[in-house]
Amino acid sequence: MVLLSLGPGELCRLVYSRSWAAERQPGPAGRESPAEAELRHQQQRLRSKEQLAAVARQVKSSCILSRQAAEKPVPDFGSVITEELAGSQDLDLGVFRLPAGDIYVEETTVVWAAVLSLGFALICDSHENLMLAENTLKMIVKYFMQHLNLLVQGNDVVLKTDRIEAILNTFLPHGQLMFLNCCFIQSLEKELNASIFK
């Protein structure tokens, strides 16, 4: 799960990312000293960060190309968005495939959504239910907008990690996509509200 800002120009800043399982690397052969283990972990972490950055860049370019093709007006990144306006924004949605070896070792599918200058992406295995992923992403973005006041000027979304985590832990526990009907969603919403405002 990746949250990023599609800033003007070349800017593409990864705001937040969550991965539920590290990519399986071949384990160390034999026993390794603590220093070697530490080095391996650092490399793994670096690799993971770079992979996420690469996905973010690709999401940004997909989004821009898609908006260009649909001839949507380029959002004015500097303008002030009031709360009412924020609620009525349209969500751009798209999907692309990352072949095996491109960024990740295995083939993955990336579903993305974008509102003005913010993008969200869900990185799925190629076997996951794409429609469910799309619905889940839309639902999560809705909660993000609600609880994080994302588009309103001056908001420090980078600091509101606890809310982001709460939303993700409720609706994507351990990265599991769930088939939620309206009543399951309602129950989970109540749980979410309870945990945020405790």
Partner 1 sequence: MFGVSAENLLRQAREVQDEDLQKFCSRITTLLQNKEYNKEATDSLQKLFLIVSATKYGRTLPRDVLQKFHSTLCFLKAPQPVLALCSAILREVLPCTSLTLSCDEVNDMKTLSLLSSIILAQGSKNGDIEAVCSHVLKLLEARQVESQGSRFLLPILSKVLDIAPTILNEEQVNAVSKKLIDWLRYASTLQGVPLSSGGFFSPRSRQPASILEVDGAVAGDFFTLLSIGHYYTEDQWLNMHSFSMIRKWLQCFGASGVNSNDADEKSELDSSVMSIVSATSTSSRLMPPKERLREKTFEYCNRLIEQSDRKAIKKSDSELQKACLIEAVILLDLICRQDPSFVYRAFPVVKALYGRICADSGFARVLLPVVQFYLNHSELAAVDSEAIYRHLFTKIPSELYHDSMVAFEVVQFCRRNRKKLSENVGIFHKSFPNIFKFLAWNAPCLFPDFIELLPELIRPDTSLEILHSLLDLPCLTAALEAQLRSQSSLASEKMITDQNRKTVNSAEAFQNQYYRSMFSYILRVEAGAGDTIDRLNLLHEVLLDMAQRPRVVQCAQTVPILLQVFFNVVIKFADGPLINQLVLVILERSSLLYDIPDFKTEVQRVFSSQLLVLCKLHPPLIVEQSKELLEFCATVSNIINKETFFTHVVWAIGEYMSFSYDRCCTVEQITKFFETLEALLFEITQLRASAHVPKYSPRVITILMTTLAKLASRSQDLIPRVSMFLSKMRPFVRNAMISSMYSEDDIQEILTRATELNNLLKVPNVAQVILGSSVDIVNPRWYKDTNASLPLTLRTISKVLQREPAPGFSA
Element (H, E) at 113: strand 108-115
Residues 60-99 that bind partner 1 (CB under 8 A): 61-62, 65-66, 68-71, 77-81, 93-97, 99
Q: Which is nearer to partner 1, 146 or 177 (CB)?
A: 177
Angstrom distance (rounded) from CA 76 to CA 66: 17
29 sits near partner 1 (criterion: CB under 8 A): no
How many angstroms separate the Cα of 125 from the Cα of each of 99, 105, 110, 143?
A: 11, 11, 9, 24
Residues 46-65 that bind partner 1 (CB under 8 A): 46, 49-50, 61-62, 65
Angstrom distance (rounded) from CA 116 to CA 96: 20
Q: Which is nearer to partner 1, 16 or 143 (CB)?
A: 16
- Site residue total, partner 1 (CB under 8 A): 88
- In the complex, the smallest distance separating the C-beta of residue 93 from partner 1, rounded to whole angstroms, is 7
- In the complex, the smallest distance separating the C-beta of residue 7 from partner 1, rounded to whole angstroms, is 7
- In the complex, the smallest distance separating the C-beta of residue 34 from partner 1, rounded to whole angstroms, is 5
Q: Which is nearer to partner 1, 19 or 87 (CB)?
A: 19
Interior/surface letters 128-166, b for 16+ CB within 10 angstroms, e for the rest: beeeebbebbebbbebbbebbbbbeeeeebeebeebbeb
- Residue from the set 55, 108, 113, 117 that interacts with partner 1 by CB under 8 A: 117
- In the complex, the smallest distance separating the C-beta of residue 185 from partner 1, rounded to whole angstroms, is 7
Query: Hey, how many other C-beta atoms are within 10 angstroms of the C-beta on 20?
Result: 11
